[in-house]
Amino acid sequence: MRWATDMEGDPDVHRKYSYLHRGGPTPLIGETIDAYLRGAERRIADREAVVSLHQRLRPTYAELDRKVESLARGLMALGIARGDRVGIWATDNVEWVELQLATARIGGVLVNLNPAYRAAELEYALRYARVQTLFLVPSFRTSDYPRMLGEVWPSDRLPQLARAVLYDPAGSDSTRAPAGFLAWQDALAAGISVSEDLLRERSATLDPDDPINIRFTSGTTGFPKGVVLTHHNILNNGFFVGEAMRLTERDRLCVPVPFYRCFGMVVSSLACLTHGAALVIPAPHFEAGAILAAVEREQCTVLHGVPTMFVQELEHPEFRKRNLRSLRTGIMAGAPCPPELVRRVIEEMGIRELLIGYGQTEASPVTHSTRPDDSFERRVNTVGTDLDHQEVKIVDAGSGRLLRVGGQGEICFRGYHVMRGYFEQPEATRKAIDEAGWLHSGDLGVMDEQGTVRVTGRIKDMIARGGEKIFPARSKPSISGIRSSPKSRSSASPIGSWARRSRPGSSFARASRRTRRNSASTRGVGSPTTRSRSTCGLSTNFRRPSPGKFKSSGCAKSPKSSFRRPRHRKRGGETLFPFSPPEV
C-alpha cells in the first residue's frame, strides 16, 4: 500500500492516507547528552547558560561544565554506577540542571519526583523505580522534605535507597543536613577521590540508547507508570523543539514550568542547552509576577507555559507596567488553548511566533507543533505537523487499519522519540507500543491533505453500539439539545475554570459566567465520565488532559458539557489524581 506521495509534508502535495513522515535538513544527533553538549560548549563558553534569579546565580557554559564535572565525580564516589537510579525531589533551581547533566555524564538514570508529593506518594515512587540515591531540598511550601522522607526511610519498605543528599538552593555549598543525610558539599568533597581520567573512562562507555531518565505518568486510572527515556530520545527532542522555535545563542528562555516535567526538563532546558541559549529561572515555582519581572529584567525572547499560566500573567496587576517587547516566541501546551487566549498572548504579550505544542511523556514529549509562520487559524485549529524525523499515522481505533485523509481514528507515533518502555512493565509496554514500533497515543484525531493534525478526543470516550462507532463529536449535538433535569449536572468549561483565577469583570471571568449559564445536560447520554470540549471546528467530549501529559488539542471554545468530575485534590497549584490503592 502506498501511504503518501509526499514524505516531507510539502503543502502543495496532497496525500490519500493519514500518514506523514517528516525528514529534515538537519540529521538526528547520534551522541550522548554529555558528548554533544561538551562539544558545543567550546563555542559558547563565556555565554550565560543558566540565570537563576531567586538564587542570584549566573553560571556561564564554562562554569556550568565545571560544576557538572565536580558533581559527576562526586556521584561516582558515592558508588553510583551506570544504570543506577538517582531521584530528585526539588523545585526549579540551578542544582536541578547540574544533577540532570551530571547523571547524564556518568550514565545514571535521573528519576523525576513531583515536589507536591506527600509521604505515601514519595514512598511509592521510590519503591517502584528502586531509587538508590535521592537528592532533595529542605522544603516546598508547607512540606518539610527531610521529615516526610523520615516517615518512610530508612525502613524495609525502601531497601534500595542507600542515601539521601540534602541541598539548600539558598546556598547549596553550605547546606546543614540532619542526622542520617548527606549534604551537597559532602558529595562534592567525596569527588576529590575520583580522577578526571576515571570520569572520562566512564563517559566513554555510554551509549546514546542508554536509559537516562524515568518520568512518571499521572496515574489517573491506577498506579503511575515510569516512562523510560534515553539520551537519544530527549536530546533529539529538545534539539528539534529548539529548531522549531528558531532558537539561537542570542535567545533567553524564561521557564515557568517545573523541571520535573518534560515541559521543563526537555522542552525548556535541553532546547536551550543544545542551542547555546540562556535558561532563565524566575522563581522556584510558578509566580506570575516573578515571570513578568524576569522577562523585563533579562530581556527574555522566549516564554513557555500552559494556558492557565498565560492567563494569570495577562491578568496580573503588574502586566501593563512591564516591558515585554523582547518576547518573540514560546510554546503553549498542556491543555486546550482558547482562541481568545492565543490572540491575547500574540497581541498583548507580543509573542508573535507563539507555537501550539502536542505530545505525551511517552514520546519524549513533543510530537507536533505549529510553525512560527503559520496563520492564526492554523495555530488555533490544529496542532500542526510532526517534528522532523518523526512519523505519525491515524488508524481505525478498532482494526488498526490505516485511514484515508479526513478519517477520524487513533493517533500513532513512530521514530526516535518513542520511549524505551515502562520501567519493568513489559506487558504495559506491549500494550502501548505495537510490534511495528508504533506508539498508540489513545487520542483521536484527523489528518488533512497537508499532513496537519487536529486532535478530536480520547478513544476511551468512543462508544461502540451495534457494530457502529459513535465518536464524542457526534453525541454532542444530542447532549446539547437536552434540557436540564433533576439528575443533570452542570459545570464550567475549561475556560471557566481558568477564569475563576482572573480578575472580576475580566473577559475570562465573563466567559466563565456565560459558560456556567449554558452548561447543563443529563448524565444519561454519552459517557458519564467525560468532559465536553470543542477544538475549534469539531466539537468533542473527552477527558481533561492529565497533569503528566504534554498535550494541547488545539483551542477550546466554551462548550456545553456533560461529565462527572473525577476525584482529585488541589495542592500548591497541582491537580493530584488518586492512584489505585494504596492512595499515594
**Residue 201's domain is classified under what CATH number?**
3.40.50.980
Torsion of CA 23, 366, 380, 310, to 10 degrees: -140
* C-beta of residue 197 within 8 angstroms of C-beta of residue 209: no
Q: Residue 287: pLDDT above 70?
A: yes
Region class of 378: left (phi > 0), else alpha (psi between -120 and 50), else beta: alpha
Return the beta strands (E) in 222-289 as ranges: 226-230, 252-254, 278-281
Q: Residue 564: pLDDT above 70?
A: no
Region class of 202: left (phi > 0), else alpha (psi between -120 and 50), else beta: alpha
- Which carries the bigger pLDDT value, residue 478 or residue 257? 257
Instruction: Give CA 286 to chain center in angstroms.
Output: 15
What is the reported pLDDT for 460?
84
Q: Which domain range does residue 104 map to? A: 34-40+59-207
Residue 485 pLDDT level (bands cut at 50, 70, 90): very low
What is the reported pLDDT for 462?
62
- Which carries the bigger pLDDT value, residue 66 or residue 541? 66
Cα radius of gyration rounded to whole Å, the chain: 23
* C-beta of residue 298 within 8 angstroms of C-beta of residue 254: yes
Largest CA distance in the chain: 74
What is the reported pLDDT for 461?
75
Distance CA 260, CA 114 (A): 6
Paired sense of beta strands 19-22 and 390-395, if any: antiparallel
Report yes or no on 120 lying in a domain: yes
Average pLDDT over residues 67-85: 98
Three-class SS state of 187: helix
Residue 487 pLDDT level (bands cut at 50, 70, 90): very low
Report yes or no on 446 lying in a domain: no
pLDDT, tens digit, 9 for 90 and up, residues 227-281: 999 999 999 999 999 999 999 999 999 999 999 999 999 999 999 999 999 999 9
Average pLDDT over residues 124-134: 98
pLDDT, tens digit, 9 for 90 and up, residues 273-284: 999 999 999 999
Q: Residue 45: pLDDT above 70?
A: yes
Distance CA 279, CA 163 (A): 30
What is the reported pLDDT for 470?
58
Report yes or no on 117 lying in a domain: yes
Residue 464 pLDDT level (bands cut at 50, 70, 90): low
Torsion of CA 175, 178, 183, 185, to 10 degrees: 50
For residue 174, give the DSSP letter. G
Average pLDDT over residues 118-130: 97
What is the reported pLDDT for 36?
97
What is the reported pLDDT for 469?
57
Q: Residue 475: pLDDT above 60?
A: no
Distance CA 447, CA 227 (A): 27
What is the reported pLDDT for 41?
82
Q: Residue 482: pLDDT above 50?
A: no
Instruction: Give CA 396 to chain center in angstroms.
Output: 27
Report yes or no on 530 lying in a domain: no
Report yes or no on 116 lying in a domain: yes
* C-beta of residue 438 within 8 angstroms of C-beta of residue 393: yes
Q: Residue 131: pLDDT above 90?
A: yes
Q: How many residues does the chain have?
A: 584
Q: Which of 540, 543, 547 is nearest to 577 (CA)?
A: 547
Distance CA 297, CA 423 (A): 42
What is the reported pLDDT for 467?
54
Report yes or no on 125 lying in a domain: yes
Residue 558 pLDDT level (bands cut at 50, 70, 90): very low
What is the reported pLDDT for 314?
98
* C-beta of residue 395 within 8 angstroms of C-beta of residue 414: no
Average pLDDT over residues 513-532: 33
Residue 39 pLDDT level (bands cut at 50, 70, 90): confident
Report yes or no on 433 lying in a domain: no
Instruction: Give CA 159 to chain center in angstroms.
Output: 30
Q: 270: which residues sit within 8 A by CB, 6+ positions away?
A: 33, 234, 235, 237, 238, 239, 242
pLDDT, tens digit, 9 for 90 and up, residues 329-361: 999 999 889 999 999 999 999 999 999 999 999
Report yes or no on 548 lying in a domain: no
Residue 223 pLDDT level (bands cut at 50, 70, 90): confident
- Which carries the bigger pLDDT value, residue 261 or residue 470? 261
Provide the grid cell at 158: 525502601
Average pLDDT over residues 78-97: 98
What is the reported pLDDT for 40?
84
Average pLDDT over residues 543-550: 44
Return the beta strands (E) in 435-543 as ranges: 439-447, 453-458, 463-465, 468-470, 532-534, 539-541
Number of domains within the chain: 1
What is the reported pLDDT for 409?
97
pLDDT, tens digit, 9 for 90 and up, residues 289-321: 999 999 999 999 999 999 999 999 999 999 999
Tell me what the pLDDT averaged over the chain comes to.
Answer: 83
